[in-house]
Amino acid sequence: MKRKIRILMLAAAVMLALAASGCQKKAEREQKPFVSEKELKAFIGETTKKDEVSDFPKLDYASDQRVMFHNSQGFYVFDMKEKKVTAALDLVKMKLFSEDGETETKIIVSGDGNVVRLLRTKGEDTVKDYFYDVKEQTLSDQKQAFDDVYEGDIQKTGEKKFAGHPKEEVIRELMEQGQNDSNAMIQNDRTVDFLGYPSGVYMKEDQMFKNVSLIQYDVKAKKKSVTPLFDGFVKTDQETDASKLVFEGSRFMKFSENGVLYFDVDAMQKTGGTKGTFGDLVIGNVFQSKSGKLTVSFEDISKADLSLKPVLSLNNIDEKGEPQMMELKEGRNTYTFSGLKKELFYYIDYYATKDAPDEKSMKKTDQQNKKLRVSISS
């Protein structure tokens, strides 16, 4: 009797698992593009809350009619005439990305930009495969034939010239205009597009995605334009005055005209950004000094692990001159760098000058020192 009960329970569990799997697959199949203002506002509002620096969006297509881009959260269609996002797909519910590192996600666009294939593969096997009709606003797992594939990445084109200029020269100009982490797509016979952020605007580190913008560079005119992609759906950052920033619980970033990223720029200007842990405040932050000096003060250096003879290295982002270096020593809490130029931005590096016995001990030392309380003043 007990054996029969166990068999029945096992059969019920299998049936429940199959039913759940069937419901999940049905839910995936029934995914539809977001097209209404209400749907888009809710979806964009939600996906822009989940920002990660490592999840910088990728440009998939560019033309005079529309631009399409994605990150691990969503796929977005931006109408160039209406100057707004007109459709989006929830890539999380479509299970297009996996964190196991064993699968690869591919997004392929037809030459006319009307059909998008979104697939996830594992080796030679296809795990997920969707076809999105941009004109009809339908999403299906039924295969559709492509007449041709959009191949607008300027890095991958076989042409040696673009808009009458050597391609290598154009690529260099794009980097000077702030291309950085983005790929660059050809929009028309004179314009190249890439993704970036507005310059001179302070953005919270964990909320940058909502400010992502389309950068259009006219190669012939040597001019660029910047268009916020989510304007109207979320409140984008506009603050350019550092004295009005509140640093509680967040770091701020801003970009220069040429795309250089500054962390906590102007943290010296009467903000709460001058105190914190060593790992959060010193490493990766950029500072300006009005006095020509920059002082790093530890609350208690005796809590540091100095076994690897660590040093502080002061550098400027323009790499002008030699860096100033100071070794951290027992009993010394204060370290002052002098001779700073007021017009330059400086950053502080921290590294060991002695080899650790193994990687584990090195990580342990780094973790201990990152927790040290420290303040920076000028």
Would you state the pLDDT for residue 273?
43
Would you state the pLDDT for residue 338?
92
87 and 187 inside one domain: yes
57 and 135 inside one domain: yes
Whether 294 shows a pLDDT value over 80: the answer reads: yes
Would you state the pLDDT for residue 80?
97
State the average pLDDT over residues 185-206.
92
233 and 290 inside one domain: no
Q: Could you tell me if residue 258 is inside a domain?
A: no
Q: What is the mean pLDDT of the chain?
A: 85
Would you state the pLDDT for residue 27?
45
H/E stretch holding 7 reads helix 2-29
Angle at 84 between CA 146 and CA 93, to 5 degrees: 60
Ranges 7-21, 111-125, 219-233, 294-308: which has the least confidence: 7-21
30 pLDDT band, cuts 50/70/90, is low
State the average pLDDT over residues 40-66.
89
306 and 183 inside one domain: no
Strands 184-186 and 191-196 come out as antiparallel
**Each residue's pLDDT tens digit, 121-180:** 998 899 999 999 999 999 999 888 887 999 999 999 889 999 999 999 999 999 889 888
Sheet holding 184-186, edge to edge: 184-186, 191-196, 213-218, 223-228
Of residues 370 and 243, the one with the higher pLDDT is 370
Say which CATH number the domain at 324 has.
2.60.40
Name the domain count of the chain. 2
Q: Could you tell me if residue 35 is inside a domain?
A: yes
Of residues 68 and 8, the one with the higher pLDDT is 68
Q: Which of 237, 252, 275 is the last residue of a domain?
A: 237
Contacts of 300 (CB under 8 A, 6+ apart): 333, 372, 373
65 and 128 inside one domain: yes
288 and 230 inside one domain: no
220 and 270 inside one domain: no
**Each residue's pLDDT tens digit, 241-287:** 776 777 666 677 778 777 766 655 554 443 334 677 887 766 556 77
Of residues 30 and 83, the one with the higher pLDDT is 83
222 and 279 inside one domain: no
Would you state the pLDDT for residue 183?
94
51 pLDDT band, cuts 50/70/90, is low
Whether 3 shows a pLDDT value over 90: the answer reads: no
Q: Which domain holds residue 202?
A: 30-237
Percent of the chain with pLDDT over 70: 83
Structure tokens belonging to residue 308: 């690897």
77 pLDDT band, cuts 50/70/90, is very high
